[in-house]
């Protein structure tokens, strides 16, 4: 047995205890326990919660479980007749698949050391019978997800179920904390601490910009005291990955996201490596890349496709083939982002813009599970701006810069869900629940007044018109505690619990029938596809899905029926932009690159030349400046600006600019936004208007647009309605749509848009509208980032009037026509449809 003192990454000498059986097991496998594993063991044995940041391949999972395995080995087995000890360790991961994977990895040491420890998973896929059994007869280690934890604590027996809980392990913490799932989890964690004040937490994370945010997350916060932090074990990241940008002899396109030009070179790279992982940002890009590679796959290399919309069975087959090293390449979206073990990948190819330096590092980390060998990655930019973005990400990797976004405060809709869940577990005192809630880091600054509003909202909807008192969901008892007014609400809670709101999806079913047969039935399911996408097609249209070209035959109930098509030019899903906007850090780096010709040497010559011509014909703005160009083209006039703040913030800015231009009678017609720039076009000569003082850039971009203009626009914005729908669903105002139950007729449900309109005109300060605005500020509208940009560039706007389009403007100009403005466009479509009627008559 080893009982020693070690010094590694920490400054302290930490005592730890590792039983002989573990020592023997390590050496039998030819290993030695690593310093960070022992350090984490020491902290946990001292009763301290700890954050472990370590690169992939460093034995992070084993490090996380080691303290529990050691302690459970030391706990004597219960004698016959003695009550079982219940759950000792709860492991929570963002992915169901990860829980399953971890179970497999944990069973190895447990079996090899013959430890008396039971490990089980509990996810949405776990059969009801097993879940029931787990409640009566729980394993010592339970592997589960945030949603399952929420369900477990909303149970009457929760405190007994967790009475022996000792440790909670939170895996992939960096990805959990950024979402509403993270908020739900943080509230669950606080509840567990109420049951077990001595509870220890272990957070496992990839490298992030601000580790202290995660350290706060792991320990209870006290509003009156200083910020509390957990212990921290940081293993600096092994060998630095070798990243390069694909050196292509082909012409790099101005715009677009397909990177088709680079396919032969990507294929050559696949041929030279054992197994290549190809990452893209969206599902449609994955489909396209897969198709392109097979078009040139002369050696018929086994190349597979993997994304979240494919049928589960098909995904499992790909994963299995991957583990057997039977594949040479796999095209994937973020479904493979998280730490599942993926055989021997020796090359990662990232097609398209990386969007963030940390994001890229995490993806590349996937490729190599041996810490001491460098991972190898190639970036393939799809257009010229992406070349600069890739270069910036590459530089960031070299300096080890991190750009994970700062965490946001806990959202109110999630809190409402939690309050109802609390009542499902039994009567609660508002004061105690409030104290519990503010002990979790995301809600540490929540004031009591807001909390009370949420409780009122849960009880009767929180309206100033008190008409629902008699139907209250939770009621106050004489002793001041709140109880559920009817048990059926607990059942409804269980059906609506969780924070993931998925777009309605249809099954894609393969059929042999074609044309106007009325009855389509059965057929194998290829996967799921978004309803909105299928709705934009007409029968006979072709698209790529699951690596095949398919022809839409019919939509019936919750399925869309497709047949195999041979068309060479399918109508593919339109690129919806990545889910993630360009990170603030990378944007700043790209602006810096643009301003400094010295840095162009690292870029491909054609990109350098492009910037040279821009400098000649127009202006290259300094790093802190905002360039605005105006020029005529065809019978229209254009205004282009280059904020580099990401597509979401640009969309908002585009809307606001259009409104302002309308007000000064510049007669704008529309705009288009990319991650890098915005183009607005209209009928009047913008340059001339600026010359004669009718229009001023400083006024046009004044920060005050975030006041009234924003408010007025928000009132009509479909983006805000979408945000409201998510908030209202999570907060329980709208019940979820369940597959199969939708048939009862859409006219019977109440659309969230109608609710939004009524609520906004009658009670604009309602708590759910407040929650919606807070969400929108950093979500779909990215108002926060827009505000920062406007204040940064104040009086640093440079305007250049041009006779014709500038080189820098070409990419965004090429996007025009591919997208249109939503609001007005709908009216013009209706006008078109109506005028056709006249033609017919």
Partner 1 sequence: MTAVAKQHDNCPVEIQFRDQRLFVDPRGSLFWPEERLLVISDLHLEKGSSFAAHRGVFLPPYDTHTTLEALALCITDWQPVRVVSLGDSFHDESASTRLPQSCKLRLRQLMENRDWIWVSGNHDPKPPEDIGGTFCSELQIGALNFIHEPRTIYRDGEIAGHLHPCAKIRRRGKTVRRRCFVADDKRMILPAFGAFTGGLNVRNEAFDGLFENHLLRAWMLSGAEVYAVNGKALVR
Residues that bind partner 1 (CB under 8 A): 460-463, 465, 467-468, 471, 473, 486, 488-489, 492, 535-536, 538, 555, 574, 712, 715-716, 732-735, 745-751, 754-755, 757-759, 761-763, 766, 820, 825-827, 829-834, 836-837, 840
Q: Output 692 or 835, the one with its CB closest to partner 1.
A: 835
Q: Output 206 or 734, the one with its CB closest to partner 1.
A: 734
C-beta of 825: minimal distance to partner 1 in Å?
7
Q: Output 224 or 464, the one with its CB closest to partner 1.
A: 464
C-beta of 269: minimal distance to partner 1 in Å?
35
SS3 content of the chain, % helix, strand, coil (to 5): 45, 15, 40
Please state, in angstroms and as integers, the Cα–Cα distance from residue 490 to each residue in 294, 328, 420, 712, 734, following that order: 51, 50, 8, 39, 16
C-beta of 712: minimal distance to partner 1 in Å?
7
Which H or E element spans position 76? none
C-beta of 82: minimal distance to partner 1 in Å?
43
C-beta of 535: minimal distance to partner 1 in Å?
6
Both tokens of 194, joined, read 């109420």
Residues 6+ apart with CB under 8 A from 80: none
Q: Output 20 or 841, the one with its CB closest to partner 1.
A: 841
Given a contact cutoff of 8 angstroms between Cβ atoms, the answer to whether 590 and 783 are in contact is no
Both tokens of 280, joined, read 């893209």
C-beta of 658: minimal distance to partner 1 in Å?
13
Closest to 389 measured CA to CA, from 348, 359, 347, 429: 359
Q: Output 244 or 751, the one with its CB closest to partner 1.
A: 751
Question: Quick count: other Cβ atoms within 10 Å of Cβ 340?
Answer: 17
Cα 121 to chain center, whole Å?
24
Q: Output 168 or 459, the one with its CB closest to partner 1.
A: 459
Nearest-angstrom CA–CA distance, 710 and 747: 33
Q: Output 602 or 749, the one with its CB closest to partner 1.
A: 749
Closest to 590 measured CA to CA, from 357, 814, 248: 357
Q: Output 17 or 463, the one with its CB closest to partner 1.
A: 463
Which H or E element spans position 354? none
Cα 571 to chain center, whole Å?
27
C-beta of 670: minimal distance to partner 1 in Å?
14
Closest to 440 measured CA to CA, from 640, 95, 726, 183: 183
Given a contact cutoff of 8 angstroms between Cβ atoms, the answer to whether 63 and 36 are in contact is yes
Which H or E element spans position 832? helix 822-840
Both tokens of 539, joined, read 């029968």
Nearest-angstrom CA–CA distance, 103 and 809: 53
The Cβ-side half-sphere exposure at 96, using a 13 Å CA radius, reads 10
- Could you give the 3-state DSSP secondary structure of residue 331? strand
Q: Output 447 or 831, the one with its CB closest to partner 1.
A: 831
Nearest-angstrom CA–CA distance, 351 and 246: 10
Q: Output 51 or 728, the one with its CB closest to partner 1.
A: 728
C-beta of 760: minimal distance to partner 1 in Å?
9
Q: Output 129 or 747, the one with its CB closest to partner 1.
A: 747
C-beta of 766: minimal distance to partner 1 in Å?
8
Nearest-angstrom CA–CA distance, 215 and 818: 45
The Cβ-side half-sphere exposure at 703, using a 13 Å CA radius, reads 12
Q: Output 105 or 831, the one with its CB closest to partner 1.
A: 831
C-beta of 536: minimal distance to partner 1 in Å?
5
Given a contact cutoff of 8 angstroms between Cβ atoms, the answer to whether 304 and 593 are in contact is no
Given a contact cutoff of 8 angstroms between Cβ atoms, the answer to whether 312 and 145 are in contact is no
C-beta of 750: minimal distance to partner 1 in Å?
5
C-beta of 69: minimal distance to partner 1 in Å?
45
Q: Output 345 or 419, the one with its CB closest to partner 1.
A: 419
C-beta of 836: minimal distance to partner 1 in Å?
6
Q: Which residues pair with 428 in a beta bridge?
A: 482
Nearest-angstrom CA–CA distance, 474 and 427: 9
Nearest-angstrom CA–CA distance, 471 and 489: 12
Q: Output 118 or 742, the one with its CB closest to partner 1.
A: 742
Q: Output 759 or 802, the one with its CB closest to partner 1.
A: 759
Q: Which spans in 114-248 are helix H?
A: 128-136, 146-153, 158-161, 173-176, 180-195, 211-218
Both tokens of 700, joined, read 């046009």
Q: What phi and psi, each to the nearest 5 degrees, are found at residue 169? A: -105, 125
C-beta of 281: minimal distance to partner 1 in Å?
21
C-beta of 278: minimal distance to partner 1 in Å?
28
Compute the C-alpha angle 799/802/804, nearest 5°.
140
Q: Output 136 or 465, the one with its CB closest to partner 1.
A: 465
The Cβ-side half-sphere exposure at 65, using a 13 Å CA radius, reads 24
Given a contact cutoff of 8 angstroms between Cβ atoms, the answer to whether 173 and 204 are in contact is yes
C-beta of 751: minimal distance to partner 1 in Å?
5
Given a contact cutoff of 8 angstroms between Cβ atoms, the answer to whether 572 and 545 are in contact is no
- Could you give the 3-state DSSP secondary structure of residue 306? strand
Both tokens of 723, joined, read 């945000």
C-beta of 379: minimal distance to partner 1 in Å?
31
Nearest-angstrom CA–CA distance, 203 and 319: 27
Q: Output 321 or 755, the one with its CB closest to partner 1.
A: 755
């Amino acid at each position: 047995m080893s009982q020693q003192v070690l010094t590694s990454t920490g400054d302290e000498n930490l005592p730890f205890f590792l039983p002989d059986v573990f020592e023997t097991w390590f050496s039998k496998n030819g290993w030695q326990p690593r310093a960070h594993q022992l350090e984490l063991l020491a902290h946990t044995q001292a009763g301290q919660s700890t954050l472990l940041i370590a690169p992939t391949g460093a034995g992070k999972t084993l490090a996380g479980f080691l303290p529990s395995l050691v302690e459970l080995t030391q706990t004597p087995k219960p004698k016959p007749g003695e009550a079982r000890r219940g759950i000792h360790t709860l492991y929570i991961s963002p992915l169901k698949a990860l829980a399953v994977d971890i179970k497999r990895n944990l069973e190895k040491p447990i079996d090899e050391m013959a430890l008396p420890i039971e490990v089980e998973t509990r996810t949405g896929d776990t059969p009801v019978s097993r879940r029931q059994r787990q409640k009566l007869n729980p394993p010592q280690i339970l592997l589960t997800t945030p949603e399952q934890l929420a369900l477990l604590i909303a149970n009457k027996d929760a405190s007994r179920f967790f009475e022996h809980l000792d440790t909670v392990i939170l895996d992939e913490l960096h990805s959990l904390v950024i979402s509403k799932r993270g908020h739900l989890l943080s509230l669950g964690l606080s509840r567990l601490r109420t049951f077990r004040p001595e509870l220890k937490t272990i957070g496992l994370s990839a490298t992030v910009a601000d580790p202290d945010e995660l350290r706060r997350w792991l320990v209870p916060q006290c509003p009156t005291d200083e910020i509390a932090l957990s212990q921290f074990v940081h293993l600096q990241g092994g060998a630095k990955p070798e990243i390069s940008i694909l050196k292509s002899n082909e012409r790099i396109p101005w715009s677009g996201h397909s990177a088709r030009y680079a396919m032969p070179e990507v294929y050559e790279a696949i041929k030279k490596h054992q197994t290549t992982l190809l990452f893209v940002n969206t599902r449609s890009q994955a489909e396209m890349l897969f198709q392109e590679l097979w078009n040139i796959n002369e050696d018929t290399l086994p190349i597979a496709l993997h994304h979240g919309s494919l049928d589960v069975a098909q995904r499992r087959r790909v994963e299995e083939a991957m583990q057997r090293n039977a594949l040479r390449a796999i095209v994937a979206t973020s479904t493979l982002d998280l730490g599942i073990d993926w055989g021997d990948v020796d090359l990662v190819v990232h097609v398209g813009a990386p969007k963030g330096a940390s994001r890229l590092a995490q993806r590349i980390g996937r490729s190599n599970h041996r810490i001491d060998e460098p991972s190898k990655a190639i970036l393939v930019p799809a257009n010229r701006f992406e070349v600069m973005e890739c270069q910036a990400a590459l530089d960031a990797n070299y300096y080890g810069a991190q750009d994970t976004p700062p965490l946001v405060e806990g959202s109110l809709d999630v809190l409402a869900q939690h309050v109802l869940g609390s009542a499902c577990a039994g009567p609660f005192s508002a004061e105690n629940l409030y104290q519990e809630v503010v002990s979790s880091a995301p809600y540490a600054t929540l004031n009591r007044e807001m909390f009370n509003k949420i409780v009122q909202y849960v009880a009767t909807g929180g309206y100033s018109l008190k008409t629902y008192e008699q139907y209250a969901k939770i009621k106050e008892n004489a002793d001041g505690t709140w109880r559920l007014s009817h048990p059926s609400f607990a059942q409804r809670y269980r059906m609506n619990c969780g924070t993931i709101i998925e777009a309605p999806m249809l099954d894609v079913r393969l059929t042999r029938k074609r044309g106007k047969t009325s009855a389509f039935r059965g057929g194998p399911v290829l996967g799921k596809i978004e309803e909105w996408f299928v709705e934009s097609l007409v029968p006979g249209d072709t698209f790529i899905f699951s690596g095949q070209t398919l022809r839409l035959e019919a939509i019936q109930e919750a399925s869309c029926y497709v047949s195999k098509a041979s068309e060479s030019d399918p109508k593919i899903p339109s690129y919806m932009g990545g889910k993630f906007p360009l990170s603030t850090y990378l944007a700043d780096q790209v602006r810096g690159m643009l301003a400094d010709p010295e840095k162009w040497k690292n870029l491909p010559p054609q990109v350098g030349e492009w910037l040279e011509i821009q400098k000649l014909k127009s202006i290259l703005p300094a790093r802190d400046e905002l360039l605005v160009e105006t020029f005529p083209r065809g019978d229209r006039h254009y205004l282009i600006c280059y904020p580099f703040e990401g597509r979401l913030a640009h969309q908002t800015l585009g809307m606001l600019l259009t409104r302002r231009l309308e007000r000064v009678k510049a007669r704008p017609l529309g705009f288009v936004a990319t991650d890098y720039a915005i183009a607005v076009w209209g009928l009047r000569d913008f340059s001339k208007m600026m010359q004669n003082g009718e229009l001023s850039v400083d006024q046009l971009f004044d920060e005050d647009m975030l006041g009234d203009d924003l408010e007025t626009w928000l009132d009509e914005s479909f983006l805000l309605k979408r945000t409201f729908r998510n908030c209202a669903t999570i907060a329980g105002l709208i019940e979820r749509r369940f597959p199969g139950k939708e048939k009862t007729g859409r006219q019977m449900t109440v659309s969230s848009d109608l609710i939004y309109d009524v609520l906004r005109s009658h009670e604009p300060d309602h708590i759910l509208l407040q929650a919606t605005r807070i969400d929108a500020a950093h979500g779909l509208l990215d108002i926060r980032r827009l505000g920062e940009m406007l204040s940064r560039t104040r009086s640093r706007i440079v305007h250049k009037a041009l006779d014709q389009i500038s080189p820098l403007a070409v990419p965004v100009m090429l996007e025009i026509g591919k997208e249109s403005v939503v609001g007005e466009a709908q009216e013009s479509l209706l006008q078109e449809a109506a005028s056709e009627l006249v033609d017919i008559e």
